[in-house]
Amino acid sequence: MDKNKSPLIHITKRSDIPWQRAWLIRLFALVLAFVVCAIVTTLLTGLDPLSVYQSMFDGAFGSERKVWILGKELAILLCVSLGLTPAFKMKFWNLGGEGQVLIGALATAAVMLYLGERLPGPLLMIVMFIGAVGAGAIWAAIPAFFKARWNTNETLFTLMMNYVAIQLVAFFVIVWEVPKGSGKVGVINQTSMAGWLPTIGGQKYLLIILVVAVITVAMHIYLKYSKHGYEISVVGESVNTARYVGIKTGKVIVRTLLVSGAICGLAGWLMVAGSDHTITTTLAGGRGFLGIMVSWLAQFSPFAMIATSFLLTFMARGASEISTAFQLNHSFADIMTGIILFFVIGCEFFIHYKVHFRTKEGKEIVDHV
C-alpha cells in the first residue's frame, strides 16, 4: 500500500461559477426532484407519472379561476418571502414570519371590526394598512432589539414570537367569535364589505398581485441600489468589517427588521382585507417558513424569488389536486415540496464546491458538473 495515497474524493471550494452553469445545476436538480416525486406518486397512487403531472398541471392551471388562485397564492407567498429577505441577507435568521403575518392580520381584523362602520372607506383602508404594517414591524423589531443590544439568539426568539402571536390570535378569535361558541370569527363585515380591498376589472385578486409586484420591484431597488441595502450586505458578510467601516450594526439590525416585519405585516393585511376577510390561527399557513426557502433558493434576488415561489405554489396547488382526485390526504403537497427542497438545497453544494476524484495514475481529474 502506498502510504501517501491521496483520498478518493477531494473537495475544493469554487472561487466563482458562471451564472449559466449555476442555473443549469439547479435545473438539473429540479428535474431529478420531479422524477423522484413522480416515482413516489406512482408508488402511492398506481398511476403512470405522466398523467400525474397532467393532473398537477390541471390543478394549477385547469380553469381561469384556478389560475387566479394560483396568482394570489404566489403573490402572498412572494410577499412574505420579500419581507424575510432583507433580514436573511443580513444573516439574521428571522423564523418569525408566521407571527409577523398573523399579527398584521390581527391588526387589520381589529380595525375592520371596530372602525369598519365608523370611518369612510379610504380612511379606513389607510388605518388598516398602518395598523398591519406597524404591528408586523414592532413584532419583528422586538427580537431585533435584543439581538442588537445583548446578542440574544434570534432564531429561537423569533420562533417563540410565532406562538405568542398564535395564542394572541386564538384569544381574539374567541373574543370576536360569531356566533358565540363557534370558535370562528366568520366573514368580517359581510354585508357592508367595509375594509375589503376593491376589485379591479372584476378580478378580486388583481389588486393583491399588483401590490406585491410593486413591492418586488421596490425591494430589488432597496437591496441593490440604496445605502441601506449596501449596509445590509456588509453586515451580512462580516459584522467586524461593518464595524470597521463605521456602520452602526445595532441600528442596521433594528432598522432592517422593521422593514422585514412591516412587509410581513402587509402580507397579513393582504390576506385579511383582500382574500380571506376573516382571521384564524392558521391564516399564515406555514408561509413564514416556506418563505425562507423561497428567499434562500433564489439567493435573495427578488426577481428570482418570483420563480421559486411559483415553483412552490405550483407544487402545492398541483399536489392538492392529486390528493383530491385520489382521495388522499392533503399533506401530500408537503411531501412533494419536501422532496423538491432537498434536491434543490443539496445541489447548492455543487455550485459552491468542486469535486475531484483520485485517478490510478495519482493525477486528479476534475469532475465538471
Partner 1 sequence: MFDLISFIPRAVVQSVPLLLGCTGETISEKSGSLNLGIPGVMYVGAISGVIASFFYEQSCGGQVNPALAIIFPLLACLFGSLLMGLLFCFLTVTLRVNQNVVGLAMTTFGIGFGNFFGGSLIKLTDSEVPSIALSATSHCFSKALPFADDLGWFGKIFLSYGFLTYVAIAIALVTAYILKKTRTGLHIRAIGENPATADAAGINITKYKYLSVCIGCMIAGLGGLYYVMDYASGVWSNDAFGDRGWLAIALVIFTLWRPNIAIFGSLLFAGLYILYLFVPTGGNMAVKELYKMLPYVVTIIVLVVTGMRNKRENQPPEALGLPYFREDR
Which positions lie near partner 1, rule CB under 8 A?
A: 11-13, 44, 93, 95, 146, 150-153, 155-157, 159-161, 163-164, 167-168, 170-172, 174-175, 286, 289-290, 292-293, 296, 327-335, 337-339, 341-342, 345-346, 348-349, 352-353
Beta-carbon-side half-sphere exposure of residue 360 (alpha carbons within 13 Å): 0
Q: How far is the CB of 30 from partner 1 (least distance, A)?
A: 15
Q: How far is the CB of 123 from partner 1 (least distance, A)?
A: 30
8 Å CB contact between 190 and 114: no
**Region of residue 187 (phi > 0: left; psi between -120 and 50: alpha; otherwise: beta):** beta
All three cell numbers of 44, joined, read 402511492
If the CB atoms of residues 123 and 345 are measured against partner 1, the closer one turns out to be 345
If the CB atoms of residues 74 and 125 are measured against partner 1, the closer one turns out to be 74
Provide the H-helix boundaries in 177-301.
206-225, 227-237, 239-244, 249-269, 287-297
- Contact residues for 257 (Cβ-Cβ < 8 A; gap 6+): 87, 92, 94, 137, 140, 141, 143, 144
Residue with cell 405522466: 50
If the CB atoms of residues 133 and 341 are measured against partner 1, the closer one turns out to be 341
Q: How far is the CB of 300 from partner 1 (least distance, A)?
A: 12
Q: Round to whole Å and give the CA distance between 138 and 104.
A: 10
Q: How far is the CB of 205 from partner 1 (least distance, A)?
A: 25
If the CB atoms of residues 33 and 111 are measured against partner 1, the closer one turns out to be 33
Q: How far is the CB of 95 from partner 1 (least distance, A)?
A: 8
Nearest to 95 by CA among 236, 289, 247: 289
If the CB atoms of residues 198 and 338 are measured against partner 1, the closer one turns out to be 338
8 Å CB contact between 335 and 38: no
Collapsing DSSP states into helix, strand and coil, what is residue 355?
strand
Q: How far is the CB of 138 from partner 1 (least distance, A)?
A: 15
Class of residue 264 by CB neighbours under 10 A (exposed 0-12, middle 13-18, buried 19+): buried
If the CB atoms of residues 119 and 335 are measured against partner 1, the closer one turns out to be 335
Q: Round to whole Å and give the CA distance between 299 and 89.
A: 9
If the CB atoms of residues 86 and 274 are measured against partner 1, the closer one turns out to be 86
Largest Cα separation within the chain, whole Å, is 87
Q: How far is the CB of 235 from partner 1 (least distance, A)?
A: 17
If the CB atoms of residues 19 and 150 are measured against partner 1, the closer one turns out to be 150
**Partners of residue 355 on adjacent β-strands:** 11, 367
Q: How far is the CB of 160 from partner 1 (least distance, A)?
A: 5
